[in-house]
Amino acid sequence: MRAAGYIGWALDGWHGLVRADVPIAPDRVLAAAGDERGRRSRHARTQRVEVSGAVVYVKAYPSPGARRAWRAFRMGRALELAGFRVPEALVVGRRGGEGVLVTGSVAAPSLLEAITAAPAGSAHPQRKRRLLEALGTQVAHLHGAGFVHGDLVPSNLLACGDTLVFLDHDRTRRSPLLVWWGARRNLVQLGRFVVPGLTASDRMRVLRAYSGARQLGPGARKRLARWLVSATIARRCRIDHVPPVEAQRAGFREVMRSGGPFDPVRGAGG
């Protein structure tokens, strides 16, 4: 496989691609990939390191994760070419079933940090409103371009001004045939979290922006809203162990209310 702007590399049984204009030595990357420290997920381990004077993220995929590394590389490139903001892929490689992907850092807060931050003065409500509308609009554009994100949770989004940066693409797909089902799944992934300061009206603002960008009519938007309420409650019951009978009795607003009886943070705090 070849990609414009990349050159091949090989070392100690590994082989892959490296950005031609970025002075990152693969041996430094492999040393970081072999380090057992870092943030672990189900399929990989990510470590923030400094290589050649630059902060990068090294994501190591144990066997048989090589395909995930290459998929993340390909999808990141496809998203970038389609006009979406993603971290720049610097190095990708594999050795047998193992894989590694190195991406550049992005100087931007997470979406949740940007939404929940409360700067002094009266600009915060407008800033929050713009971000929520941008969230709905840009996720709609993502789906409109035929992409379905593999794990569209708030922690996989950064807010660079009013532009979203989409992270973590080892499960992202591009297939117009998958969008109808996958888009709904993405919306549930995005909306199932209880967020301090985020109201039901804020969630509706995201849905209105999404529906407008997808050109959904009033009837289709109402059907989508009803489905999302039901699916989001069901997902919270399954993942956060909310009793289904209590959730149905309380209703969506109460189930998703920050500081309410179903807030995981409140429950963890006793």
Q: How many CB atoms lie within 10 A of CB 145?
A: 15
Q: Are residues 81 and 128 in the same domain?
A: no
| Mean per-residue pLDDT, 172-189 | 93
Domain boundary among 86, 104, 122: 104
Q: Residues 130, 233: one domain?
A: yes
Q: Are residues 89 and 117 in the same domain?
A: no
168, 87: one domain:
no
Give the span between the Cα atoms of 40 and 50, in whole angstroms. 19
Please tell me whether residues 232 and 129 are part of one structural domain. Answer: yes
Q: Is residue 1 part of a domain?
A: no
Verify that 44 and 84 share a domain, yes or no.
yes
Q: Is it the case that residue 60 has pLDDT exceeding 60?
A: yes
Statement to judge: residues 167 and 257 lie in one domain: yes
Contact 108, 134 (CB under 8 A): no
Closest by CA to 127, choosing from 162, 169, 79, 152, is 162
CA torsion through residues 24, 170, 83, 111, sign = negative
Residues 100, 127, single domain; the answer is no
pTM here is: 0.92
Q: Does the structure show a pLDDT above 80 at 58? A: yes
**Which CATH number goes with the domain that contains 28?**
3.30.200
Number of structural domains found in the chain:
2
Task: From 132, 105, 99, select the one nearest 116 (Cα to Cα).
Answer: 132
90 located within any domain? yes
Domain membership of residue 202 (yes or no) is yes
Among the three residues 88, 104, 120, which one is the final residue of a domain in this structure? 104
For residues 116 and 224, membership in a common domain is answered with yes
Give the residue from 160, 141, 140, 157 showing the smallest Cα distance to 206.
140
The answer to whether position 212 is within a domain reads yes
Range of the domain at 28: 6-104
- Mean pLDDT along residues 18-40: 83
Residue 138 has pLDDT above 70, yes or no: yes
Residues 97 and 82 in one domain: yes
- Domain-terminating residue out of 104, 138, 155: 104
Mean pLDDT score, 202-231: 97
Go through the chain and tell me how many residues it has.
270
At residue 2 the predicted structure's pLDDT band, cuts being 50, 70 and 90, is low
- Confidence label for 227 from pLDDT (cuts 50, 70 and 90): very high
Q: What percent of the chain shows pLDDT beyond 70?
A: 95
Q: Are residues 220 and 258 in the same domain?
A: yes
Query: For all residues of the chain together, what is the average pLDDT?
Result: 91
73 and 184 both lie in a single domain: no
- Higher-confidence residue of 44 and 125: namely 44
